[in-house]
């Protein structure tokens, strides 16, 4: 499986929920949509009840490589989230770990373990991240905003825009600015659950979309279960194919600190090469400046 495509798609899958609609209605004839305050109040009450999320995932990816060759792959792994900044995603195939992504309050990183003779790690400081560095990992969004985009973080009413109907009049969208653009969370007004989301860059270009369905209860100690998506399907504008994620056994539980510690993971995975993205991009800039 193409590691870059998987990284991009999985990150978007896990942290963004959305899809596009084609049928349109005259939304001017509809009643006013629920207000942002109404939507956020119910949403925030639900997600504030869960501080961590652990889940098993299975993945199916289908698409086309840059050389035009088609592929279809499957894998399985784990998703682990610890608010407000801890993220861990691992993917296995035939029992062998071959890809891992993570982030904490200081850094973001990925591991390519497919080649057992040349395991590599890419890592960068969160405070120095740029669009170009994130793209190196196949990420269309700021690593520090991954959990905000997961649908598990409360909506900040001081930053959210007004609510509006989707083109088909079935969903209510709320726009929230991001460090590199914006994203729109689309809610089903019948359930007040996030049903889709669209991500845009700073130029307003549509970056990613995904659909989110089959919500299921995640166990939370000493509280009522919290609904989380059970199936997420991602498509990226301009790319053929999809990535489909099935989530099972979701629960809020204590997560081992090691999964958010890149130094410990580097030793555990016995990495052969470490690519410091900050150093690499600094060297690139110096090379470009020195070129006549």
**CATH code of the domain containing 183:** 2.50.20.10
pLDDT at 211: 81
3-state SS string over 131-167? Answer: HHHHHHCCCCCCHHHCCHHHCCCCCCCCCCCCEEECC
pLDDT at 291: 57
pLDDT at 279: 94
As separate numbers, helices (DSSP H) first and strands (DSSP E) second, the chain gives 5, 16
pLDDT at 152: 84
pLDDT at 207: 80
Average pLDDT value for residue range 23-42: 87
Question: Using CA atoms in the order 266, 268, 272, 278, what is the torsion angle rounded to 10 degrees?
Answer: -10
Q: 268 or 286: whose pLDDT is higher?
A: 268
Domain total in the chain = 1
pLDDT at 288: 56
Per-residue pLDDT of 159-179, as tens digits, reads 999 999 999 999 999 999 988
User: Which residues constitute the domain of residue 74?
Assistant: 3-290
pLDDT at 59: 84
Which of 106, 116, 108 has its CA nearest to residue 15? 108
Average pLDDT value for residue range 190-211: 86
Average pLDDT of the chain, as a whole number: 85
pLDDT at 186: 93
pTM for the model stands at: 0.84
Q: What is the DSSP letter of 31?
A: P
Instruction: Look at residue 109 and tell me whether its pLDDT is greater than 80.
Output: yes
């Amino acid at each position: 499986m193409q590691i870059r495509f998987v990284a991009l798609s999985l990150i978007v899958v896990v942290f963004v929920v959305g899809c596009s609609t084609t049928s349109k209605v005259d939304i001017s004839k509809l009643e006013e949509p629920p207000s942002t305050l109404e939507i956020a109040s119910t949403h925030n009450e639900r997600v504030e009840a869960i501080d961590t999320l652990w889940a098993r995932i299975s993945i199916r990816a289908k698409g086309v490589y840059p050389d035009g060759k088609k592929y279809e792959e499957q894998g399985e792994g784990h998703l682990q989230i610890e608010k407000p900044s801890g993220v861990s995603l691992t993917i296995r195939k035939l029992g062998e770990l071959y890809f891992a992504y993570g982030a904490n309050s200081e850094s973001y990183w990925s591991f390519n373990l497919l080649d057992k003779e040349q395991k590599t790690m890419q890592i960068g400081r969160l405070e120095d991240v740029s669009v170009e560095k994130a793209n190196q990992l196949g990420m269309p969004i700021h690593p520090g905003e991954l959990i905000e985009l997961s649908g598990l973080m409360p909506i900040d009413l001081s930053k959210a825009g007004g609510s509006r109907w989707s083109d088909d009049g079935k969903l209510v969208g709320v726009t929230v600015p991001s460090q590199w653009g914006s994203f729109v969370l689309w809610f089903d007004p019948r359930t007040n659950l996030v049903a889709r989301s669209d991500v845009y860059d700073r130029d307003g270009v549509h970056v990613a979309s995904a659909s989110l369905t089959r919500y299921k209860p995640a166990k939370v100690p000493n509280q009522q279960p919290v609904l989380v998506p059970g199936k997420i399907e991602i498509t990226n504008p301009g790319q053929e194919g999809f990535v489909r994620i099935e989530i099972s056994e979701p629960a809020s539980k204590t997560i081992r600190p090691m999964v958010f510690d890149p130094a410990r993971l580097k030793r555990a995975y016995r990495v052969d090469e470490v690519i410091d993205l900050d150093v690499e991009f600094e060297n690139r800039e110096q090379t470009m400046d020195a070129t006549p």
